[in-house]
Every structure is written in C-alpha cells, then in structure tokens.
Structure 1
Amino acid sequence: MSSVSTALGDSAIMLRRNFKHSVRNSVTLFNSVLFPVVLMVMFVYVFGGAFKVRGKYVDYALPGLLVMTISYGLGATAASVNDDMTKGVINRFKTMDVSRGAVLTGHVVATTVRCLIGDAVVIGVGFAMGFRSDAGLLDWLGAIGVLLLLAFGASWLTVALGLAAKSVESASFGVIPLIMLPFLSSAFVPADTMGTGVRQFAEYQPFTPIIETLRGLLSDGHPSTGHLIAAFAWSAGFAVVGYVWAVTTFKKRA
C-alpha cells in the first residue's frame, strides 16, 4: 500500500473519531449549531428593530451570523487537540504507526465539516425567519466557497493554538479573540455607523471583508472586488500561518 493511500486512510479514521466525539459532546453541539440559532433569533427579533439597515434586518444579519457560527465552533477543537496532546493520546497514535499528518488533518476536516453543518442550519432557520436572496446558483456556490475557505483556515489556526497551549483551559481561552472579532465587525450594524476608533478597527479587521463578501454574494451577486480579495487573503493567511505553526509545534511536542 502506498504512503499516500495510507495517509488518506489514517486521515479518514481520525476524521471519524473526531466527528464522533463532536456528536457525543452536547456542549460542542450547542456552541456549533444551536447557539448561533439563538443569537439569530435574539438579534433579529429582539434587537433588529433598533438597527437601521437597508432592507430587512434578517437579510443584513445572516452573513455575519454565518461567520459567527464558524467562530463559535472553534473552541471545542482547541480543547480537543490540547487534550489529545497533554494526555498522551497523540503519542499512543505514534506507537500505532498512524500517519502524523492524519492526526492534525482529522481535527481540521472534522471542524470544517462541523462548521458547515452549523451554517446550513443557520441558513435554514434564516429562510424560516423571512430571509430572501436574489443570488443565483453560482453566487451561492461562491458563498459556500468563502465559508469553506474560512472554516478551513480558521480550523488550522485553532489546531495550532490547541497544540501550543499548556492546558485545556488556556487552549479554550486562546480562541476567544476569534469568537469576539465578529461582534466588532459589520456583522450586525454597518461599520460607518460606529464611533471613531471602533469604526476603523471594524473596517480593517479580518472578518469584516469576509462578511461583506458574503453579503454581496447573497444579496445581488455583486460583492466588492476589494472585499473579495481581502476575504480570500485573510482566509488563506489563516490557513498558511495555522498550518506552519501547527506542524512546527507538533514536531516539537509530539
């Protein structure tokens, strides 16, 4: 059997293992799937009337909630990776001749799939709450591609944070900035309505161009070129930095 097929087989086993852990963990399921729905109901039905945006508020808020769903699904990954490392599970895998790359890839793919499932649920609930889109098939595929790239890049960054942390608690704490950044973006209100300082931060932080790209794709299929390039650059940057950091830390600690 070739080394490539062995690595793919090991990755599939690790993916199945991590996905089973996610399904059996009620906290992970709540944070990844149910809590974003709670946030959607709260912002649309409780706070939505106080915000002045063009069109229906649910149409404005949905792209930001899709990004927030991904960020909320990352905490469990950082804790799980660190738990595997600190309890010696990864070292046991080494004695079983499991591909080293498969251990990390399993966490990344499981997190990406979990985030996309959460986004699918949020989109379904959004339609039930009155969300409507003029986007065509290619626009929807483009939006899914943006979400996939973000989830993949953020997953690698989260795996790296989990490997670098000294404990499960510090690993969970390390992803808080990724969870909080969507609140300080254009997810719920336009950035130009914010105060000086906060507005500039919201405009230039990673999640705002990603959210605006999704908003452009799902509204009329015409996202800003600048936002699209920035969204791709940030997501790809997450993936590259996270991958290099994760592999380097894994070699040192495993």
Structure 2
Amino acid sequence: MLKVEGVSKSYGSGLWGGPRSQVLNNITFTLEQGEWAALIGESGCGKSTLARLILGLEERDGGKITCSGLAVANKPRHRKALYRLLQPVFQNSAGCLNPRMRIKECLLEPLRNFESIGAGAEQKEAEKLLAMVELPPHILRHYPHELSGGQQRRVCIARALSIKPRFLIMDEALAGIDATITGSILMLLKALQRDVGCGCLFITHDLGMALYMAPKILVMRGGQIVETVPIARSAGDFVHPYSKQLFRSSTLSCLKK
C-alpha cells in the first residue's frame, strides 16, 4: 500500500527571506497493491513536487508518506530500501540513462544493486526485459543516444520493472514524444498493467491519457486535490469545473478503455 497523508510542501522566496510559496497543501490518498491511479493537473500545479516527495528526493513540510509500511524520508541511507518498493520513470529518459553505458548495463544496474544474479544469466535476463517492452535483443549493444525517444522510454520502463517493485511512479513519462509512439507505449503499458501486477501513480497533464491508463483519477489544481473519482470512464464522471476543462483540452480524449 502507498499511503499519502496530509502532505504539504512550500519553498522559500530566495536569499532575502520573505513569504514562502505553498506548492502542496494537505494531499491525501491511498493506492492499494496493484492499483493504478492517475494524477492529473496543469503544469506547475505540484504534481512533480509530489512525485519527488514520494520518492524521498525532497523533504516535505508536513504529513506522512508510507509504502508497504516503510516510512518515506529524505535520507540517502533509507533510499535503497525504499527503491526496492518504489521505482520511478521520469520524462527525461535520456537523462536517466548513463550515456557511457550500453543499454545492457543500464538495464542490469538495478538488478545488480538489489538481486543476486550470476554473470551467466545476465544476457538472458536483459533480453527478457527488452522483450517485455517489445524491443529486439540487438538494442543491448547500443548506447542511449543511438536509440529513439520512444525506445529510450521503453528501456526506462523495463529498467524500473526489472526488480519487480510494488509501485511505479511515472512522472509525465510519455510527454514530449510523437503521438504515434505515445499510443504504442500506452498500449504496452496496458498490457504490462495486466501482466506485471505492480501498482502505479501515473502523472500526466492529459485527462484523456489518464482515463485510458487508470480507473482512479486524482485531479490536482494549485497544490490541492480538487476531485477524486474512484472509477472514471468518461468526462461525465467528473463534476468539478476544472476537471471538465481538462477533458475539453485533452489531446487523447478519443481513447476508450
């Protein structure tokens, strides 16, 4: 279970003091094991800040975050245990892959950190991970810059799933790539959703994409959750005016479950 209780976060205004800017205010929600939920909101509403707090990359001002009973804290010595349970997939996939490492090494790095895997099994495991995200085995010999943006995203997804985490935190993981490639990765994620069994907080600014990916939708505006829909199928399931506005501006609102 991923549990976020009354979480708040603010930032100072610089070296000269002054009032702090409130970015998150009393965020509360729960994800059960295997549950997928989408967090939707416009840029600057606090979605990525919340992702960093869940991943222990920043310290929250107040509230509590736990994953499978483990309290999340912004302390490096706690992160290995946390990242065994939580794995991120970020928007900047190229920046998340070491440019000096071949794809095989990038994929195997989490396994080497968390699992005991013999050298003889590494090639087979790497090929298995690529197959899971529908990439051919020859990709293993390449460097990240030799891959397309869509291929890099698939590698990052495979890498995150390699250690079988309890939850994925996908922060705008499909933003900035071609619409056709986005569609194919969305279909891949739906297949993984059925087959892998981990839960996911799918963060996006596109309500159509959120409806396609997750039954539970959390709508954020100005650092607050303004609406939660446990089972969302269409725009008609939302009552908040801001939620309806997001659906009208969605680029993927034609997608169906």
TM-score of the alignment, normalized to the shorter chain, above 0.5:
no
Instruction: Report the TM-score when normalising by structure 1.
Output: 0.25
Higher strand share: 2
Instruction: Report the TM-score when normalising by structure 2.
Output: 0.25
Higher helix share: 1
